[in-house]
Amino acid sequence: MTGIINENLYATLQAGFPADPAAACLLLPDAGEVSYGMLQQESARYANLLASLGVQPGDRVAVQVRKSPQALFLYLGCLRAGAVFLPLNDAYQRHEIGYFLDDATPRLFVCRPQNRALGDELAAASGVPHVLELADDGGGALVEAAAAQSDRFITVPRRSGDLAAILYTSGTTGRPKGAMLTHGNLAANALVLHRFWGFRPGDVLLHMLPIFHAHGLFVAIHCALLNGSPMLFEPRFDAARAIDLLPAATVFMGVPTYYVRLLAEQGFTRELCAGMRLFISGSAPLLKETFDEFTARTGHTILERYGMTEGGMFTSNPYDAERRGGTVGFPLPGTAIRIVDDGRTPVNGGEVGNILVKGPQVFVGYWGMPEKSREEFTEDGFFSTGDMGRLDRDGYLTIIGRSKDLIITGGLNVYPKEVEEMIDEMPGVVETAVIGLTDPDLGEAVTAVVVRQKGGAGEAVTETGVIGALKGNLAGFKVPKRLFFVDELPRNAMGKVQKNVLRERFQLLWLQTVKQKEVFNESTF
Ligand code: AMP
């Protein structure tokens, strides 16, 4: 490699490692510690193991395990060996795993010991040659095999356009799509975020996110590694545990649910956060209410950013200037955002439209889906995110929701967020999801699913009361035709409300409502 820069992401990250190999990288719950020197040695062992199994640069390694230091070594080992890391949410079951193995044809599948028999069966059916297990406590056949390998490995040279990872999108409709991310995509985003969020010597990251997703794996880990910082590396989010650890941290990254849960803890105080430099939120919308309450409680302003599996982070609220609640800030340096109508023509300033994005972090396409990949890009290289949003006069971007969640009722567009915000403001309401249910007459009927406070003002919240209060304030076609109450909204691991689950759950009830209406000919509908 003389004279040629190795564009392998690992080489980029490694440039940030501290000179002292004894410097801490992972601080573990049992008081154990992994130094940066150990991280290099362990990732070398995993890279050697992969090579010994015949994993060639470009081969996929599918991994469905719980978060552990060994899972991180494996990720870095994959990068170093030039393999393509393919993390899978551990909630996926037989049918889904089978699909991923068939689709991605990895050379190795790493699973939890309790899934070994299933892993063997599915791997045999998909022609995956190797299966090894990694236990939740960091033991297992994979770890034993790695321990027997040399702790030295020369990181395989990669070009920025070579694949580093495939992440299947958490898409709620259609076949899951494998977003192909290159070494260049990941490095570009890591370097920008590290600078933009002001990482500095002395930073300590409290890491409680899962690492099968871009947020925990790329955004959080890459920033810490590039900064040569220690991470308080926790297996999962736990509010009480976060309260114990925050005094030892300076940066925290979370999904909005984490912030809601922290605020529910009495011990979450201004004093506790006194040593913190930055709280970052993303992966799902942070309610303005949560943003404001957080500032009031801690004196810190949450920095909200926006991105997706298909490219990491696209926009961020500023580090040094006003962080505006309810918005996701500005395009990151080197990134362009365009808001367009359905014909991909830019809308007028301030209007809602589809969000397109272009930048060095944007993925190169979906694995094995060249047609689909082409459709999602414009001729001049902008990717259609599937999100809808609006740029305000100062250039801050507000996300309105996924375009597939847009409700078209009687031919008119309803953005769920507008209705959700109005209901959320009513006393006694905790939160709301507005969905469209298939309706024989309207195409889709606007429906609200509401979580009420237990007791107090919550008891006075009724279907007719909410609908009545909205009438007069919102155009009639936007007012929900029905309101259903639930104890909590279904969310995935990243805190996103699963509107598809709600649609499935309430579709039948809605059709029954329509039937009753026909029988009684009620005029209230
Ligand atoms: P994922 O690919 O799982 O990371 O999901 C990406 C999607 O999450 C985006 O397309 C948005 O719909 C949503 N999302 C991410 N960050 C935000 C945010 N700050 N506010 C609102 N939605 C967000």
Rounded-to-integer distance, Cα 511 and Cα 498, Å: 21
> The tokens of 248 are what?
């030892």
Average of per-residue pLDDT across 436-453: 92
Query: Hey, whose CA ends up nearest to atom 1 of ligand 1?
Result: 308
Rounded-to-integer distance, Cα 137 and Cα 140, Å: 9
**Does residue 42 carry a pLDDT above 50?**
yes
Q: What is the pLDDT of residue 2?
A: 46
Q: What is the pLDDT of residue 516?
A: 74
Average of per-residue pLDDT across 74-101: 95
Task: Name the residue of 212, 286, 308, 397 whose CB sits within 8 Å of the most ligand 1 atoms, as the mutation to test its pocket.
Answer: 308
Q: 159-172: buried (b, 16+ CB within 10 Å) or exposed (e) per residue?
A: ebebbbbbbbbbeb
Rounded-to-integer distance, Cα 158 and Cα 224, Å: 22
Percent of all residues in the chain with a pLDDT value above 70, rounded to a whole number: 97
How many whole angstroms from 399 Cα to the centroid of ligand 1? 9
How many whole angstroms from 154 Cα to the centroid of ligand 1? 37
How many whole angstroms from 45 Cα to the centroid of ligand 1? 35
Residue 117: which residues within 8 A CB-CB, separation 6 or more? none
Q: Which of these, 207, 204, 266, lies nearest to 242 by C-alpha position?
A: 207
Q: What is the pLDDT of residues 317-339, one digit of tens each?
A: 999 999 999 999 999 999 999 99
Residue 264: which residues within 8 A CB-CB, separation 6 or more? 239
Q: What is the pLDDT of residue 258?
A: 95
Rounded-to-integer distance, Cα 167 and Cα 312, Å: 11
Q: How many residues does the chain have?
A: 525
Q: Which of these, 417, 389, 265, 283, lies nearest to 327 by C-alpha position?
A: 389
Q: What is the pLDDT of residues 476-501, one digit of tens each?
A: 999 999 999 999 999 988 888 999 99
CB 110 within 8 A of CB 142: yes
Reported as a pLDDT band with limits 50, 70 and 90, residue 441 is confident
Percent of all residues in the chain with a pLDDT value above 90, rounded to a whole number: 86
Domains of the chain: 9-196 (3.40.50.12780), 237-402 (3.40.50.12780), 407-516 (3.30.300.30)
Q: What is the pLDDT of residue 170?
A: 65
State the distance between the two ends of the chain, measured CA to CA, in whole angstroms. 72
Query: Hey, whose CA ends up nearest to atom 5 of ligand 1?
Result: 308
Q: Which of these, 320, 240, 329, lies nearest to 291 by C-alpha position?
A: 329
CB 454 within 8 A of CB 468: no
**Does residue 463 carry a pLDDT above 80?**
yes
Average the pLDDT over each of 103-117, 165-179, 319-333, 338-352 and give the range with the smallest value: 165-179
Q: What is the pLDDT of residue 525?
A: 32
Rounded-to-integer distance, Cα 458 and Cα 275, Å: 37
* Atom nearest to 167 CA in ligand 1: 2
**Does residue 212 carry a pLDDT above 50?**
yes
* Atom nearest to 304 CA in ligand 1: 19
Per DSSP bridges, beta strands 178-182 and 336-340 are unpaired
Rounded-to-integer distance, Cα 241 and Cα 344, Å: 47
**Does residue 182 carry a pLDDT above 80?**
yes
How many whole angstroms from 283 Cα to the centroid of ligand 1? 4
Reported as a pLDDT band with limits 50, 70 and 90, residue 521 is very low
Rounded to the nearest 10 degrees, how much is the dihedral formed by the CA atoms of 408, 411, 417, 419?
-120
Reported as a pLDDT band with limits 50, 70 and 90, residue 440 is confident
Reported as a pLDDT band with limits 50, 70 and 90, residue 519 is very low
**Ligand 1: lining residues by beta carbon, under 6 Å:** 169-170, 214, 282-285, 304, 306, 308-309, 328, 385, 387, 399, 402, 494
Q: What is the pLDDT of residue 174?
A: 64
Q: What is the DSSP letter of 348?
A: P
**Does residue 183 carry a pLDDT above 70?**
yes
Rounded-to-integer distance, Cα 323 and Cα 224, Å: 22
Rounded-to-integer distance, Cα 254 and Cα 146, Å: 32
Alpha carbon 370 to its chain centroid, in Å, reads 24
Place of tokens 């459709």: 375
Q: Which of these, 82, 142, 137, 85, lies nearest to 111 by C-alpha position?
A: 142
Q: 326-336: buried (b, 16+ CB within 10 Å) or exposed (e) per residue?
A: bbbbbbbeebe
pTM: predicted TM-score of the whole model, two decimal places: 0.90
How many whole angstroms from 5 Cα to the centroid of ligand 1? 34
* Atom nearest to 179 CA in ligand 1: 2
How many whole angstroms from 203 Cα to the centroid of ligand 1? 26
Q: Which of these, 130, 128, 42, 50, lies nearest to 83 by C-alpha position?
A: 50
* Atom nearest to 305 CA in ligand 1: 19
Query: Hey, whose CA ends up nearest to atom 4 of ligand 1?
Result: 308
Q: Which of these, 84, 96, 90, 99, lies nearest to 64 by C-alpha position?
A: 90
Residue 127 burial by Cβ neighbours in a 10 Å radius (0-12, 13-18, 19+): exposed
**Does residue 231 carry a pLDDT above 70?**
yes
Reported as a pLDDT band with limits 50, 70 and 90, residue 522 is very low
Rounded-to-integer distance, Cα 210 and Cα 458, Å: 33
Q: What is the pLDDT of residue 446?
A: 96
How many whole angstroms from 492 Cα to the centroid of ligand 1? 12
Average of per-residue pLDDT across 377-392: 96
* Atom nearest to 386 CA in ligand 1: 10
Per DSSP bridges, beta strands 482-485 and 443-452 are parallel
CB 339 within 8 A of CB 347: yes
Residue 354: which residues within 8 A CB-CB, separation 6 or more? 339, 340, 341, 342, 344, 384, 385, 386, 387, 388, 403
* pLDDT mean across residues, the chain: 94
Reported as a pLDDT band with limits 50, 70 and 90, residue 473 is confident
**Does residue 524 carry a pLDDT above 70?**
no
CB 466 within 8 A of CB 483: yes
Q: What is the pLDDT of residues 397-410, one digit of tens each?
A: 999 988 889 898 88
* Atom nearest to 309 CA in ligand 1: 2
Query: Hey, whose CA ends up nearest to atom 15 of ligand 1?
Result: 283
**Does residue 279 carry a pLDDT above 60?**
yes
**Does residue 1 carry a pLDDT above 50?**
no
Query: Hey, whose CA ends up nearest to atom 9 of ligand 1?
Result: 308
Q: What is the pLDDT of residue 518?
A: 56
> 57: phi > 0 → left, psi -120 to 50 → alpha, else beta; which?
beta
Reported as a pLDDT band with limits 50, 70 and 90, residue 523 is very low
**Does residue 44 carry a pLDDT above 90?**
yes
> The tokens of 410 are what?
């009687």
Residue 217: which residues within 8 A CB-CB, separation 6 or more? 75, 87, 211
Alpha carbon 142 to its chain centroid, in Å, reads 27
Query: Hey, whose CA ends up nearest to atom 20 of ligand 1?
Result: 285
Task: Name the residue of 172, 388, 496, 499 whose CB sits within 8 Å of the most ligand 1 atoms, as the mutation to test its pocket.
Answer: 496
How many whole angstroms from 354 Cα to the centroid of ligand 1? 14
Rounded-to-integer distance, Cα 221 and Cα 209, Å: 10
Enumerate the β-bridge partners of residue 433. Answer: 449
